[in-house]
Structure 1
Amino acid sequence: MTRTNYHHGALRETLLTATLELIEKDGIGAVSLRRVARAAGVSPGAPYHHFPDRAALLIALSDEGFRLLAETLTAARAAAAAPTDGLEAILNAYVEFAQANPAYFRLMFRPELKQSQSHKSESGSAAGEVAFAVLADTVGECVAADAARAIDQNVLAITLWSAVHGYASLWLDGQLDHRTDDPAGLAHQMAALVAGLTVA
């Protein structure tokens, strides 16, 4: 893969795209600034104009993943009229995002990126909070409308997140292959079940 046609101002985006494609092809362990530069068709020193090291590059890509997830969940909630329908739509959208963007999804929750304090991104952290807030706010709407059990909203939101994230991870990791012939259909059944458990 070579990339010779990009404007200087688009170098950062070119490097992020090359990194994402490298993760999709060979996994996160294959990422290095030198290999990304080669994949992007730029000089070995070019990535350092935007990223001081590998961790900074991966965190920037993770931030972009959280922004995309936040947009996906926001759109799913906006398309549903009732809060209870919105809750189920968000859970389905989360699993669908993971399936459509496995490289992003696997990267976004890497513990070593959370521990890398030197390159924490305020924009990425904000996007992660926006993504969770879509779920938490919808739970709050359900409770306010007496459509959900009157329990701690944060506990309920985290419980729902845990269930849907666990399913998305199991599917991506191939752990459902011998348990269902229709993981997409099962995902919708799971989302309906989990969302239904919150109904008062």
Structure 2
Amino acid sequence: MKRTTYHHGALRDALLDACRRLIESEGIAAVSLRRVAREAGVSTGAPYHHFTDRAALLAALSTQGFETLGAELAAAKAAATGTPMQALSAMAAAYVRFAREHGAYFRLMFRPELSEPEKHPDTVVAADAAFAVLTDTIADAVAAGLLPADKAEVLGITWWAIGHGIASLWLDGQLDKRSEQLGTTTPELVEDIMATLNGLIDPVR
């Protein structure tokens, strides 16, 4: 039975929720405007009130994902105590948690060939804002004399690569296997990895 009582804003949210659930259950390949409409319980023409095509729908979902990631990184930074290096460690762990808890977002956000962010500036703005939380923290570490100023940009990308790599390995099940081999849990392994990295970069901390 199709639902026809969504008001304008709620319909958009319902379609995005349906798209996210569909990605979680069947993967990105299963997404089409018709299929998302069916999952949301609305007419097949309803999505076109908000999204011109599949890429527009995926871009809007990617935007949500980057906004959520940015908020979680900012919360991790705010909750961290001690030096900016410890904040960076907490943010890396938050990045991995985000991937685990929001797998549909994570699998889509870094697929520009699907969401076409060059046509959807809101997605680019949200992505840049999330990355800025990291670069601002790198800048804090530089100001505190903990990281070299001439390597700030490279270190920002390095931290992102580390967090993203760990998250991808976990989603693919590879990190669970390694954790078991080492006799630990995956969250404990992630924490140990970041602590080890921080120790190498800032051994006197």
TM-score (norm 2): 0.89
Match of 1:100 in 2: 101
Match of 1:44 in 2: 44
2:55–2:115 Cα contact (<8 Å) kept: no
2:62–2:115 Cα contact (<8 Å) kept: no
User: What amino acid maps onto 2:201 in structure 1?
Assistant: T
Segment of structure 1 superposing worse, 77-86 or 87-96? 77-86
2:95–2:164 Cα contact (<8 Å) kept: yes
Match of 2:172 in 1: 173
Match of 1:183 in 2: 186
Q: CA deviation at 1:78?
A: 1.0
1:160–1:194 Cα contact (<8 Å) kept: no
| 1:86-106 CA-partner distances (Å, limit 9, x unpaired) | 111111111111111011001
CA–CA distance in structure 2, aligned partners of residues 95 and 3 of structure 1? 36
CA–CA distance in structure 2, aligned partners of residues 2 and 102 of structure 1? 28
SS for the counterpart of 1:65 is: helix
1:61–1:104 Cα contact (<8 Å) kept: yes
Which residues of structure 1 form unaligned runs of 5+? Answer: none
C-alpha spacing 1:154/1:107, structure 2 compared with 1 (3 Å): same
Give percent identity, aligned residues only. 55
TM-score (norm 1): 0.91
1:24–1:103 Cα contact (<8 Å) kept: yes
| 1:105-157 CA-partner distances (Å, limit 9, x unpaired) | 0110014136563x32x222122111111111111111211122454100011
- Between Structure 1 and Structure 2, which shows a larger proportion of helix residues? 2
Alignment of 1:99-118 (within 5 A): 99-113=100-114, 115=116, 117=118
2:55–2:116 Cα contact (<8 Å) kept: no
C-alpha spacing 1:87/1:2, structure 2 compared with 1 (3 Å): farther
1:70–1:130 Cα contact (<8 Å) kept: yes
Q: CA deviation at 1:188?
A: 1.1
Q: CA deviation at 1:177?
A: 3.4
1:88–1:195 Cα contact (<8 Å) kept: yes
Which residues of structure 2 form unaligned runs of 5+? Answer: none
SS for the counterpart of 2:177 is: coil
* C-alpha RMSD of the superposition: 1.9
Return structure 1 stretches of 4+ with deviation > 3 angstroms.
1-6, 113-117
**Count of matched residue positions in the alignment of Structure 1 and Structure 2:** 198
CA–CA distance in structure 1, aligned partners of residues 47 and 116 of structure 2? 22
Match of 1:73 in 2: 73
Match of 1:139 in 2: 138
CA–CA distance in structure 1, aligned partners of residues 148 and 107 of structure 2? 32
1:164–1:191 Cα contact (<8 Å) kept: no
